[in-house]
Amino acid sequence: MGQHVAASEIRAGFSAAMSAMYRTEVPAYGTLMELVAEVNGKVLAADPALRDSLDATNSLDRISEERHGAIRLGTPAELAMMRRVFAVMGMFPVGYYDLSEAGVPVHSTAFRPVGEDALSINPFRVFTSLLRLDLIADETLRAEAEAILNKRQIFTDEAVALVEKAEKNGGLDKADADRFVEQVLETFRWHDKANVSEDMYHRLHDAHRLIADVVSFKGPHINHLTPRTLDIDAVQDLMPSRAIAPKAIVEGPPTRVCPILLRQTSFKALEEPVSFRSEDGSWKSGSHTARFGEIEQRGVALTPKGRALYDQLLTETRSKVRPAADGSNADAYVAALGETFEQFPDDWAGIRAAGLGYFTYSLTAAGEKSAPRPDADIEALVAEGLVRFDPITYEDFLPVSAAGIFQSNLGDDAAQEFQASPNQMRFEADLGAAVLNEFDHYAAIEQASLDSCLAALGKLEA
Ligand code: OOG
Ligand code: NI
């Protein structure tokens, strides 16, 4: 047995393999990747301070390789196994998102690397939802859907065997890691032959489009793969020139000098040919819409205080102008959003001073040369230019945006009311583990960087 491959390396390999697969499955994704690369190149050339900050936090190289995907699972057993698969790649469940509030019968987590080193090697994340059949009113249909789901096996035998091997040996050697990537990719592949009859598909679809998407197919096809751009407004504006029609508004915070959290926009799901199984074993052709394209821009991770202010301002905006699904009031919404968010400081020092965002601290060139400063506090060290601070990138998702993305892909008539019913305990029981708290992780990264600066300047025991 050879040496074990680092989990981050397996993750990087998997992310690249997924990207190559999706590019052949959904060509518009390739077009979007090219556009994002072009815009990112221009932004970096025009903004040396941004380049410098990304460089100082070891995050310049990751940008062009950065993406997230999304899948929707059908059963607790699938979710629990998926957790073990992602663990082999150093991806752990962070956060709990209740989408029932937005009329979507799923709850979700994001599998992603945690810790600064793993994130800077490759930050690949997968937004992973579990269908909530308990939110389906029709009991007969619920039982039928459950029976269909319980019959499918979304992982290859070899993928399962390799996960068990990795767990037993604490990792995989190069040959096994390559095989693992290949085998796990199968789970995410698109299958145009449905698992169900056309009649069953329509009954599921009538209950909710998303239920049909989860239950009718052999596996949880990756439904989008999202590159990270440094200027989402520019990409949004250029999309039509590449024959891609974006949704009317960018989800999340408004355009700002200092980006916060996450902004996202998408193009609509494609209508794709599928075939349904008939009683007599023949295939009947039809269509299904599931897969779409999305881009995102990531900003600073907010503290609980910052997040509360963000949520408050977003709610305030939406109470003034509720964005219509057809985009007819997009301009009014964007104006209201910009105006409302004037209350959120838009310079790094202001965001930091108000305790709204997380930052990493590092020594400047002057700091490196400085004599020990055991009596100085961090504010003094920053003011004297011995220590610099850089925003910590938000690595997670936003439920309201996620709901907007879901909705825009379900068709404009698909809005449905569910009672908001978060059930994190149930989700974690199904997952077989607790989800990590995102805030704890950002706070720990911030604290570690602060401690190492203070230690270097003789203030803390190293
Ligand atoms: C996932 C939608 C959520 C995001 O970027 O917020 C998401 C889905 O449609 O399955 O990917
Ligand atoms: Ni997404």
Whether residue 91 has pLDDT greater than 50: yes
The verdict on domain 7-299+395-430 having CATH code 3.30.450.70 is no
Nearest CA to ligand 1 atom 2: 402
pTM: 0.93
Atom of ligand 1 nearest to the CA of 292: 9
247 pLDDT band (50/70/90 cuts)? confident
pLDDT value of residue 462: 47
pLDDT tens-place string over residues 4-42: 999 999 999 999 999 999 999 988 899 999 999 999 999
Rounded Cα distance, 444 and 381, in Å? 20
Residue nearest to atom 9 of ligand 1 (CA): 406
If one counts every other C-beta atom within 10 angstroms of the C-beta of residue 185, the result is: 17
Pick the range with the lowest mean pLDDT from 11-15, 261-265, 395-399, 436-440: 395-399
> Does the interface predicted TM-score (ipTM) exceed 0.90?
yes
Residue 325 has pLDDT above 90, yes or no: no
SS (H, E, C) 263-323: EEEEECCCEEEEEEECCCCCEEEEEEECCCEEEEEECECECHHHHHHHHHHHHHHHHHCCC
Which DSSP helix (H) or strand (E) runs through 387? Answer: strand 387-391
Report pLDDT digits (tens) over 342-394. 999 999 999 999 999 999 999 999 999 999 998 888 999 999 999 999 999 99
**Side-chain half-sphere exposure of 400, counting CA atoms within 13 A:** 18
So where are the chain's domains? 7-299+395-430
Tell me which of 128, 209, 397 to substitute to probe ligand 1's pocket, judged by most ligand atoms within 8 Å of the beta carbon.
Answer: 397
Give yes or no for residue 183 CB within 6 A of ligand 1: no
Residues 159-218: pLDDT tens digits?
A: 999 999 999 999 999 999 999 999 999 999 999 999 999 999 999 999 998 999 999 999
Q: Is 70 in the pocket of ligand 1 (CB under 6 A)?
A: yes
Which residues fall inside 5 Å of ion ligand 2, going by CB? 226, 294
Q: What is the DSSP letter of 262?
A: E
From the CA of 289, the nearest ligand is: 1
Closest ligand, as measured to the CA of 251: 1
What pLDDT digit, counting tens, does each position of 107-127 carry? 999 999 998 899 989 999 999
